Amino acid sequence: MSDSTKSISPPPRVLVTKIGLDGHDRGSRIVAAYLRDAGMEVIYTAPWQKIEAVVKLAVEEDVDVIGVSSLATDHLLLPDLMAALGEAGFGHVKVVAGGIIPDGDEAELLRAGVSRVFHPGSPREDIVATVGDLATQARAACANG
C-alpha cells in the first residue's frame, strides 16, 4: 500500500469502467485488482457503459476517482464525460484514462480535464500511487467546495 492510500480514511473509492463500444477488459480487470489489492474500494463495471450511467454510478457510489480503460478509440468520448460530471456537480472527481491512447489524443484529453493518461507498460506502483494521490486531492476539493 502506498503512503497516499494510507493518508485518507475511509480509503479511496475508485470506479473502474469502460465507455463506448469496445469490450476488451483484461486491462481494466487487472488495474481494478491492483487498486483493490492496494486497499482501495473499487467499483467495477462491465464494458460499454453510457456516459450518463457512469455519472450516475459515480454520484451514487460517491467515488473519488474514475478510471476509464480505452483500447479502441472510445477515449474520444472522455471530454463528454468530463462535461457531464461538471453538469452533475461532480467536477471534483478526478478522471484517469489508460490503454492505447495516441499522442495527439492524450493532449486533447488532458486539456479536457483528464488528470492522467497511463500507457501500456505503466508500472503498477505508478498507477496505485497516482490514483491514491488523486483521491486525496478529490476529497480535499470536495471538502473545500
Task: Give the one residue of 99, 132, 136, 139 binding another protein; rule: CB under 8 A.
Answer: 99
Does the protein bind another protein through residue 56 (CB under 8 A)?
A: no
Residue 132, classified by CB atoms within 10 Å of its CB into exposed (0-12), middle (13-18) or buried (19+), is buried
| Interacting positions 2-21 with another protein (CB under 8 A) | 16, 20-21
Closer residue to another protein (CB): 79 or 113:
79
The residue within the footprint of another protein, chosen from 2, 36, 43, 141 (CB under 8 A), is 36
Listed ranges 7-15, 53-61, 89-97, 122-130: which one lies at the site for another protein (CB under 8 A): 122-130
Question: Considering the rule CB under 8 A, would residue 47 count as an interface residue with another protein?
Answer: yes
Minimal distance, residue 44 CB to another protein, in Å: 6
Contacting positions for another protein (CB under 8 A): 16, 20-33, 36, 42, 44, 46-48, 70-74, 76-77, 99-106, 119-124
